[in-house]
Copies of this chain bind each other. A is one copy, B any other.
Amino acid sequence: MMVGMFSSSGESVAVIDGQAEDAAAEVWRRIRSISHDPQAMAVCHQITQETGLALAPQRALLVLPLDEAISMRQLARRLGCDNSYVTPLVDTLEGRGLAVRRPHPSDRRVKVIELTEPGRALAERVQLADSTPPDTFGQLTEAELGTLRDLLRKLDPV
């Protein structure tokens, strides 16, 4: 719980519960704070209201390629979950006509999952919402965003 900020000898220091916080700790705290943007989740909740689709299958739509079929296993890999978990997820999507399972042409053990046209439209919506920055980003100039991007690249292992 931040209670104030003061400047001493040109150094701006955030104060948390009476304890001074160094720049690295503040950056870390703010990165996590910003990343928990309620706005991003708002779209998901709205889709839940509209379609009754739970969050888990929405996450599947998020990682499903728009114009390419991938196997159940590949989908599990993209979701970072177990193979078995993906079955009821695709069941749900299929039950709502958002995706279809097809047999793999050469390997009959494999099923590929492919978005239908309505599924593709919804996936596009989910993916766009996910990649769209919060409104507060508009408070930075292009130059500032460039600087920020360069600094974050140094922090990002990827």
Contacts and interface: CB of A to CB of B under 8 A. Distances in A.
Nearest to A139: B154
A28 B34 CA distance: 9
Interface string A137-156: 10110101111111111111
Q: Is the interface of A mostly helix, strand, loop or mixed?
A: helix
A152 B30 contact: yes
Given A140-B151, A151-B140, A158-B2, A145 B27 contact: yes
Which of A34, A134, A153 has the most chain B CB within a 10 Å cutoff?
Answer: A34
Given A28-B137, A131-B25, A150 B12 contact: yes
Interface of A: 2, 12, 23-36, 131-134, 136-137, 139-140, 142, 144-158
Contacts of A32: 35
Contacts of A132: 25, 28
Contacts of A33: 156, 158
A36 to B, nearest CB: 8
